[in-house]
Amino acid sequence: MNGLKNVRNRRDDALTRVDWKQLEKMLADHYRRQGWSVDHVGTGASRSRFDGGVDLKLRRGGEYVLIQCKHWNAKQVPHNAVHELLGLKINQNATGAIVITSGEFTQAAKDAAAREGHVQLIDGDALRAMLGPLPETSTSPADLDRTRRPDCLGQDKTARRPVSGQLNKKPSLEPLVRLGVGIIALVILVQCVPGYFRKTIEKSVNAPAVVTRPKPASVPMPPPVQRPVVINVERQRPQPPEISAQQQDTALREWQRKNAESMRILEENDRRYEEALMEGR
């Protein structure tokens, strides 16, 4: 929001209390009533984090129009939005492009649209005249701010990455992520270590015994004597303890429970991280 200009006339009416998802849907319905085939590709319909700079795609006959909605009530929409949509229009071979805001455009944005001649601007006055009277809603401004995406508060979509001065404003979820990874590693370790030690014991039991022969002493050779007969006695090899089927089933269910708990913690961490990112912006 740094560098953006405040609106000259901040409104407080039914349209300002509509969130950006509802505004996209209202515009899609409006153009359908005008005979357009509407493809709602914005984040309000796709539920993705970014919309690629286009919220609505209109088609009628040989016409193909791109629309970008800016539900900004506090800041003026700058010329960046005009240039961004113009580039998308050229890349997609569209016949027209429209930037719509519920607030105001900067003079630079108006000059850019007039100079290029391929982008139409619809400000808050024209938008209200186009949609007509709206029913009042009970949504408070505080509730509405929590549902808005970052660009609705005046942040330019072309500069969404945080700058160095803004990194400290975001909550750190690194400890939670590390905790989740540690739990998963602990579950894997608990499952793998017993099998590793069991295999090590089996190898040590099956390995042949190594006999170290002492070096002969430098003494006179005794007279030959009859050597005793050595009888090899086979060792009793200890067998590893057998694990019953019930014990194996119990261990499997315990592993599944721990694994499910670990995945739940990771999903909760991801959700909190996304919410923190949205609130921090």
- Over the stretch 57-78, which tens digit does the pLDDT of each residue have? 999 999 999 999 999 989 999 9
Closest CA to 54 of 78, 34, 81: 81
How high is the mean pLDDT of the chain?
76
**Region 131-143: what's the mean pLDDT?**
66
Give the DSSP H or E segment for 58.
Answer: strand 56-60
Look at residue 119 and tell me whether its pLDDT is greater than 80. yes
User: What's the rounded Cα separation, in Å, for the pair 3 and 71?
Assistant: 18
- For residue 61, how many other CB atoms are within 10 A of its CB? 9
Residue showing tokens 């088609």: 59
The DSSP code sequence of 4-21 is PPBPSS---STTTTS-HH
139: which DSSP letter? Answer: -
Half-sphere exposure of 61 (CA within 13 A, CB side): 4
- For residue 56, how many other CB atoms are within 10 A of its CB? 25
pTM for the structure as a whole: 0.49
Residue showing tokens 């086979």: 234
CB within 8 Å of 79: residues ≥ 6 apart = 106, 108, 109, 111, 112
Look at residue 233 and tell me whether its pLDDT is greater than 70. no
- Over the stretch 205-225, which tens digit does the pLDDT of each residue have? 565 555 566 565 565 666 666
Contact status, residue 42 vs residue 55, Cβ threshold 8 Å: yes
User: What's the rounded Cα separation, in Å, for the pair 55 and 98?
Assistant: 10
Q: Look at the domain 20-159 and name its fold.
A: Trna Endonuclease; Chain: A, domain 1 (3.40.1350)
Helix (H, G, I), strand (E, B) or coil at 163: coil
pLDDT band at 133 (very low <50, low <70, confident <90, very high): confident
Give the DSSP H or E segment for 176.
Answer: helix 174-206
Look at residue 33 and tell me whether its pLDDT is greater than 90. yes
**Region 11-21: what's the mean pLDDT?**
89
12-16, 98-102, 161-165, 229-233: which has the minimum mean pLDDT? 161-165
Look at residue 167 and tell me whether its pLDDT is greater than 50. no
